[in-house]
Amino acid sequence: MTAAYRTGKWTTPRREDPCHRSLGRRGQEFEMVPGRPVGVLVCGKDSKRDHGRDVALALAGDLNAIPAAPGAGSCTGTATEWYDLQFRYADGPGVGVSVRVGCRPPVHNGSLDGTGEFPQLRALSQGG
């Protein structure tokens, strides 16, 4: 943290599994995906696919439009599908959003729980 303060840049550690949730980004306590991401990695069961700015911004817009409130990411029900979305930014840490189809609430970003459906995630997580 001291280095980030001194240099004015925040670097996030690289993880072996790129689908692992990001550390978090300022503003994620107010929006599912704050700011303007430059890309998103969509991870599903046994699949993952990276997308650029256009898909990231569209998906961020959809996620930011759902009803959301502070929450712990708990799941009532049984998840039938599971997606992890890793949003990247030009600078600073990313935001990880989990979508658990079949859970209530199904969407969580580490700070907020949200309710919405995202049928496009299966296709976005697969190659092509």
Distances (CA, A) of 103 to 35, 69, 75, 108: 27, 16, 5, 11
Q: How far is CA 25 from the centre of its chain?
A: 11
Decide: residue 59, CB within 10 A, 0-12 exposed, 13-18 middle, 19+ buried: buried
Tokens for 27, please give them.
């503003």
C-alpha angle 14-62-101 in degrees, rounded to nearest 5: 75
pLDDT in tens, 15-72: 577 787 667 899 999 999 999 999 999 999 889 999 999 999 999 999 999 999 999 8
- CA 114, CA 94: separation in Å to the nearest integer? 19
Minimum mean pLDDT among 4-8, 41-45, 66-70, 91-95: which range?
Answer: 4-8
Q: How far is CA 115 from the centre of its chain?
A: 14
Tokens for 54, please give them.
């256009």
pTM here? Answer: 0.85
